[in-house]
């Protein structure tokens, strides 16, 4: 029996090549997209899974209400939290504390190693994921040491461990253990261990880890409760419930932070955050690396489901449509004794065979697409090793079985239900019962397509809006150099001279020193208030130290008052300690507003207090500048206080270039830099590139959305094309009757779009409110966003209508052009 089914099926496929091709092609694209997206999703879900005890591992977060933004939760905490928890909570097994490199090392870091031949190997370490951490990090995060002792590798104050790849960069084939690495030509570290490369799917990528003990007693981190800039991880004892620890935090916080909270008038809370949740569910202040988002994953999962659903709907619709041609076969088989079950089985087999072909095609497609998919995602999500996993085969088999049966069931029932007498009498009229379902499925396809187009369109609009918005500063032709490392007191003077030398160049308009440039979060900040206000009235603000040329170089608008001049620079510390008075600052519009000034003019010549380190400093506001986008437009404007200190350690030198010969000018700047600072590594970037790298994740997401939306629409169009030929066939009679009644070809054809229009409109009514709610929700993530307008919803509707009309009319044209006598002859 099966052989007979197979034979009939294969002959039917051969005879109906277009039908078979559309089904196989559509299904295989659907399956491919589904598998790829599922692999990506499971990659994102697998973050930090490789850590053995990840289920007992937590990060301790800190929530405070300093400032006017209400409670804000930060990923970092005080450096003492872990140790205090181990001491106070019996549930806590051990802790690790980490400090990110910019805090002690500043923006510019380079390492150098002098080998036995006397050659110096020096590299910038800006992409190397460097942290300071205590030895427990090795145990907590499963760092597998190839060389060195896991129990002591980070106990010595000057020890460093690094990955195999980085070790090779410095030491080649030499044994790295015991070798000396110098940071910024300043202090030396001894290599005490080499570890395996960390997997890519971790929120905490590691390249080099320097012993936390290097700070010795100097920083006194063991007792500090005023510096919440450290990542604290704790491991609970096996089987311990984090909620019992969370319940103890209020009294814990009171014990250690009570006095400080009283003094500053704020409230702090702590909580355990599972490390497993960090990558997808955490979006805190000072995250250690950019995280993914669960929402994005759900969206992609939805898209994956949609794509495969569209492909299956195609199959159902086409098979049902084709069933008219199979009616005679069914009738005859019934007459000669086939029962309904056999017939249902036969059509299910056909569905499974089509699905089997599709699986084979998508197996090939997936293998072809592996590398381009990886480069699209930016991680090695897929590799050929995936075929060794039984889960992949199981999911393929699942799709095959579920898809085949689900898609085959309805057509099988319709086909097997034909009455033999009617069929064989030759007066077989199509039953209308299938129409509602068919219409429903087509509406579902349209609705999905409309939603996807509209969603993608809005996402793209938002992204291009963000990239084209005026940033509030001059973002073109600003070349930023990483400032040289500070070796001694002469460095500062050298930098000043270097800057003057640059301005001599006719191709350079201006140059400025600063400790921040636009494009990333500002590290420094504390509370500010008007001079007559009490400490509890302080609001959070960010601090940027600049020189007198910064505002000009970045062309930031001055709203009131005046810009810095050279004489405004004040001394920060004297021999007797910090200088508390006589500073002058610029503030931006947001800062003026949070300080409570009605308008920028009111702030001029007013005194304000800002906390800097442990003490209050008083400064005169000499000017107010317009807000600029320090970070991507996802973030709101930061309140910023611009300070101007004599001899501050600038991290960046920004050079505003004139003219078109940018390449030549930047080459000249590079050689000047090397003359001045022969020991340093030249590192430069254009501010617009630097700023736009914030949009990488977004534009990746946008591209993925776009590609898969196009795929979904393509498959839907494919199905419509097939269905169109069927619909056209069904309508041949009507078209012919109309032609005989005097309709022209165009008039006769116009009946099809009219019917389509109602289907598309219904789909639009279903899809658009949903997509409206989803996009409104999504746009809420962005501080600066586009206004939704009616076209964002109408255009997708029109596109779907257009694609549908084209695919159907191209088919109907055939029936409109044939001789009506032909179509009406045999009935």
Which residue, 456 or 815, has its beta carbon nearer to other proteins?
A: 815
819 touches other proteins (CB under 8 A): yes
Of 663 and 825, CB closest to other proteins: 825
CA distances from residue 768 to 298, 449, 711, 775 in whole angstroms, order as listed: 19, 11, 20, 10
Nearer to other proteins, 566 or 755 (CB): 755
Cβ atoms within 10 A of the Cβ of 457, count? 21
Stretch that binds other proteins, among 187-195, 488-496, 610-618, 818-826 (CB under 8 A): 818-826
* Phi and psi torsions of 59, nearest 5°: -105, 140
750 binds other proteins (CB under 8 A): no
DSSP 310-345: HHHHHHHHHHHHHHHHHHHHHHHHHHTT--HHHHHH
Taking the least distance from each CB to other proteins, the nearer of 580 and 740 is 740
CA atoms 316, 321, 326, 328: torsion sign: positive
Beta carbons within 10 angstroms of residue 678's beta carbon: 8
Tracing tokens 């051990």 back to the chain, one arrives at 94
User: Which residues in the 37-56 window bind other proteins by CB under 8 A?
Assistant: none
CB-wise, 630 or 736, nearer to other proteins?
736
* Contact assessment for residue 621 and residue 583, using Cβ atoms and an 8 Å cutoff: no
Point out which span in 109-117, 211-219, 784-792, 813-821 binds other proteins (CB under 8 A).
813-821
Please report whether residue 729 would count as binding other proteins according to CB under 8 A: no
Choose, by CB under 8 A, the member of 706, 737, 798, 813 that binds other proteins.
Answer: 737
747 binds other proteins (CB under 8 A): yes
Write each residue from 143 to 182 as x if it is in contact with other proteins (CB under 8 A), else as -, in one continuous string: ----------------------------------------
Residue 751 or 788 having the CB closest to other proteins: 751
Contact flag: residue 575 with other proteins (CB under 8 A): no
| CA gap 509, 511 in Å, rounded | 7
Out of 45, 248, 286, 733, name the contact with other proteins by CB under 8 A.
733
The continuous run of DSSP H or E covering 211 comes out as strand 208-211
Residue 739 C-beta: closest distance to other proteins, Å: 8
CB of 816 to other proteins, least distance (A): 13
Give the start-end residues of each E strand in 592-745: 607-612, 615-625, 640-643, 652-657, 684-686
- CA dist 723 and 707 (Å) reads 24
By beta-carbon proximity to other proteins, the closer residue of 688 and 734 is 734
Token pair for 59 = 């990060």
| x-or-dash string of contact with other proteins, 680-719, rule CB under 8 A | ----------------------------------------
91 contact partners, CB below 8 Å, separation of at least 6: 236, 237, 240, 244, 245
Q: Which of 556, 738, 752, 760 binds other proteins (CB under 8 A)?
A: 738
What's the closest the beta carbon of residue 327 comes to other proteins, in angstroms?
Answer: 18
The verdict on 139 binding other proteins (CB under 8 A) reads no
Cβ atoms < 10 Å from Cβ of 418: 23
**354 CB burial (10 A radius; 0-12, 13-18, 19+):** buried
367 φ/ψ angles, rounded to the nearest 5 degrees? -65, -35
Contact status: 817 vs other proteins (CB under 8 A) = no
Angle between helices 662-676 and 490-504 (to 10 degrees): 150
Binding piece for other proteins, criterion CB under 8 A, among 136-144, 448-456, 689-697, 739-747: 739-747
Q: How far is the CB of 331 from other proteins (least distance, A)?
A: 20
The span from the first CA to the last CA of the chain, in angstroms, equals 34
Q: Does 572 bind other proteins (CB under 8 A)?
A: no
C-alpha distances in Å from residue 689, one per residue of 467, 508, 627, 686: 11, 19, 20, 5
Q: At what angle do helices 340-377 and 390-416 cross, to 10 degrees?
A: 140
Stretch that binds other proteins, among 117-125, 148-156, 277-285, 740-748 (CB under 8 A): 740-748
Of these, 401, 741, 757, 765, which contacts other proteins (CB under 8 A)? Answer: 741
Q: Using CA atoms, how far apart are residues 529 and 617, in angstroms rounded to an integer?
A: 11
Residue 587 CA to residue 132 CA, distance in Å, equals: 34
Q: Which stretch, 339-347, 603-611, 742-750, 779-787, contacts other proteins (CB under 8 A)? A: 742-750
Q: Which is nearer to other proteins, 700 or 733 (CB)?
A: 733
Give CA–CA dist 240/513, Å, rounded. Answer: 51
Q: Which distant-in-sequence residues (6+ apart) come within 8 Å of 253 by Cβ?
A: 261, 268, 269, 270
Residue choice 734, 762, 766, 795 for contact with other proteins (CB under 8 A)? 734
Question: Which of 364, 740, 757, 765 lies at the binding interface for other proteins (CB under 8 A)?
Answer: 740
The least distance separating other proteins from the CB of residue 782, rounded to whole angstroms, comes to 48
Pick the piece of the chain touching other proteins (CB under 8 A) from 345-353, 642-650, 703-711, 817-825: 817-825
Please report how close the Cβ of residue 438 comes to other proteins at its closest, in angstroms: 15
CB nearer to other proteins: give 423 or 480. 423
Kindly state the smallest distance separating residue 800's Cβ from other proteins, in Å: 23
Q: Which is nearer to other proteins, 558 or 743 (CB)?
A: 743
CB 765 → other proteins: shortest distance, Å? 22
Closest approach of Cβ 741 to other proteins, in Å? 4
- The H-or-E segment that residue 180 falls in is strand 180-183
Contact between 827 and other proteins by CB under 8 A: the answer reads yes
Contact range with other proteins by CB under 8 A, out of 188-196, 340-348, 707-715, 733-741: 733-741
Shortest distance in whole angstroms from residue 203 CB to other proteins: 60
743 binds other proteins (CB under 8 A): yes
Which residues within the stretch 114-133 sit at the binding site for other proteins (CB under 8 A)? Answer: none
Note whether 824 binds other proteins by CB under 8 A.
yes
How crowded is residue 282: how many other Cβ atoms within 10 Å of its Cβ?
A: 21
CB of 820 to other proteins, least distance (A): 5
Within 484-564, residue ranges assigned H as helices are 490-504, 550-553
Structure tokens at 135: 């030895």
How far is it, in rounded angstroms, from Cα 232 to Cα 136? 11
Does the protein bind other proteins through residue 439 (CB under 8 A)?
no
Binding of residue 821 to other proteins (CB under 8 A): yes
Q: How far apart are CA 208 and CA 161, in angstroms?
A: 6
Instruction: Rank residues 222 and 740 by Cβ distance to other proteins and give the closer one.
Output: 740
Q: What are the tokens at 132?
A: 């300071």
Rule CB under 8 A: choose which of 17, 390, 742, 780 binds other proteins. 742
| CB of 203 closer than 8 Å to CB of 275 | yes
Stretch that binds other proteins, among 34-42, 272-280, 734-742, 767-775 (CB under 8 A): 734-742
Minimum CB distance to other proteins smaller for 3 or for 429: 429
Dihedral of the CA atoms 286, 291, 294, 300 (nearest 10)?
A: 150
Per-residue b or e along 787-809, where b marks 16 or more CB atoms closer than 10 Å to that residue's CB: ebeeebbeebbebbbebbbebbb
CB 324 → other proteins: shortest distance, Å?
15
Least Å from the CB of residue 821 to other proteins: 4
Q: Which positions touch other proteins (CB under 8 A)?
A: 733-734, 736-738, 740-744, 747, 819-821, 824-825, 827
């Amino acid at each position: 029996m099966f052989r007979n089914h197979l034979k009939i099926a294969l002959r039917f496929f051969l005879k109906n090549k277009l039908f078979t091709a559309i089904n196989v092609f559509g299904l295989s694209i659907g399956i491919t997209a589904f598998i790829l997206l599922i692999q990506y999703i499971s990659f994102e879900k697998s973050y930090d899974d490789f850590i053995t005890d990840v289920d007992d591992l937590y990060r301790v977060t800190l929530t405070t209400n300093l400032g006017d933004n209400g409670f804000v939760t930060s990923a970092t905490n005080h450096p003492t939290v872990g140790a205090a928890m181990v001491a106070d909570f019996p549930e806590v097994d051990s802790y690790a504390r980490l400090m990110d490199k910019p805090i002690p090392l500043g923006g510019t870091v380079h390492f150098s190693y002098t080998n036995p031949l006397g050659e110096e190997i020096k590299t910038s370490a800006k992409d190397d994921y460097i942290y300071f951490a205590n030895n427990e990090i090795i145990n907590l995060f499963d760092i597998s040491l190839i060389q060195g002792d896991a129990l002591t590798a980070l106990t010595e104050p000057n020890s460093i461990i690094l990955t195999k790849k980085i070790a090779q960069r410095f030491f080649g084939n030499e044994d790295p253990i015991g070798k000396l690495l110098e940071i910024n030509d300043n202090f030396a570290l001894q290599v005490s261990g080499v570890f395996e490369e960390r997997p890519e799917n971790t929120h905490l990528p590691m390249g080099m880890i320097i012993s936390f003990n290097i700070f010795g007693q100097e920083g006194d981190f063991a007792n500090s409760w005023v510096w919440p800039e450290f990542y604290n991880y704790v491991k609970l004892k096996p089987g311990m419930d984090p909620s019992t620890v969370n319940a103890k935090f209020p009294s814990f916080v009171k014990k250690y932070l009570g006095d400080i909270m009283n003094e500053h008038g704020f409230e702090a809370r702590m909580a355990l955050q599972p490390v497993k949740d960090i990558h997808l569910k955490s979006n805190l202040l000072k995250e250690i690396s950019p995280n993914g988002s669960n929402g994005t994953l759900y969206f992609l999962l939805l898209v994956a489901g949609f794509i495969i659903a569209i492909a299956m709907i195609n199959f159902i619709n086409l098979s049902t449509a084709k069933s008219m041609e199979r009616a005679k076969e069914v009738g005859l088989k019934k007459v000669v004794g086939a029962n309904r079950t056999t017939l249902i089985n036969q059509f299910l087999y056909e569905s499974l065979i089509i699905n089997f072909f599709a699986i084979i095609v998508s197996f090939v497609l997936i293998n072809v697409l592996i590398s381009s998919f990886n480069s699209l995602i930016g991680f090695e999500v897929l590799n050929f090793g995936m075929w060794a996993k039984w889960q992949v085969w199981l999911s393929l088999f699942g799709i095959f079985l579920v898809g085949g049966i689900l898609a085959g069931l309805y057509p099988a029932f319709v086909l097997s239900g034909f009455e033999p007498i009617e069929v064989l009498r030759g007066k077989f009229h199509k039953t209308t019962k299938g129409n509602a379902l068919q219409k429903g499925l087509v509406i579902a396809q349209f609705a999905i397509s409309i939603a996807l187009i509209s969603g993608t369109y809005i996402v793209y609009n938002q992204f291009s809006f963000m990239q084209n918005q005026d940033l509030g500063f001059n973002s073109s032709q600003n070349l930023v150099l990483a400032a040289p490392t500070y070796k001694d007191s002469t460095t500062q003077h050298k930098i000043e001279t270097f800057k003057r030398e640059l301005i001599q160049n006719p191709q350079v308009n201006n140059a400025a020193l600063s400790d921040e440039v636009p494009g990333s979060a500002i590290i420094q900040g504390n509370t500010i208030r008007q001079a007559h206000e009490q400490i509890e009235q302080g609001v959070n603000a960010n601090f940027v130290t600049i020189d007198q040329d910064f505002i000009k170089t970045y062309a930031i608008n001055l709203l009131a008052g005046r810009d810095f001049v050279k004489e405004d620079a004040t001394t920060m510390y004297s021999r007797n300690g910090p200088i508390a008075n006589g500073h002058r600052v610029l503030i931006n519009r947001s800062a003026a507003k949070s300080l409570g000034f009605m308008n920028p003019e009111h702030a001029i010549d007013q005194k304000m207090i800002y906390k800097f380190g442990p003490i209050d400093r008083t400064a005169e506001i000499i000017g107010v500048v317009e807000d600029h986008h320090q970070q991507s437009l996802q973030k709101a404007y930061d309140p910023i206080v611009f300070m101007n200190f004599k001899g501050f350690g600038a991290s960046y030198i920004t050079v505003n270039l004139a003219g078109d010969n940018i390449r030549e000018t930047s080459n000249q700047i590079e050689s000047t830099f090397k003359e001045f600072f022969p020991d340093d590594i030249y590192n430069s970037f254009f501010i617009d590139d630097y700023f736009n790298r914030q949009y990488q994740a977004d534009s990746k997401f946008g591209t993925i959305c776009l590609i898969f939306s196009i795929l979904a629409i393509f498959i839907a169009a494919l199905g419509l094309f097939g269905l169109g030929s069927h619909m056209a066939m069904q309508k041949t009679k009507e078209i012919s009757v109309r032609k005989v009644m005097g309709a022209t070809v165009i008039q006769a054809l116009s009946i099809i779009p009219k019917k389509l229009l109602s289907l598309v409109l219904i789909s639009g009514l279903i899809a658009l409110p949903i997509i409206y709610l989803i996009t409104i929700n999504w746009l809420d993530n962005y501080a600066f966003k586009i206004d939704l307008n009616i076209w964002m919803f109408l255009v997708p509707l029109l596109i779907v209508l257009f694609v549908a009309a084209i695919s159907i009319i191209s088919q109907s044209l055939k029936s409109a052009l044939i001789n009506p006598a032909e179509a009406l002859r045999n009935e």
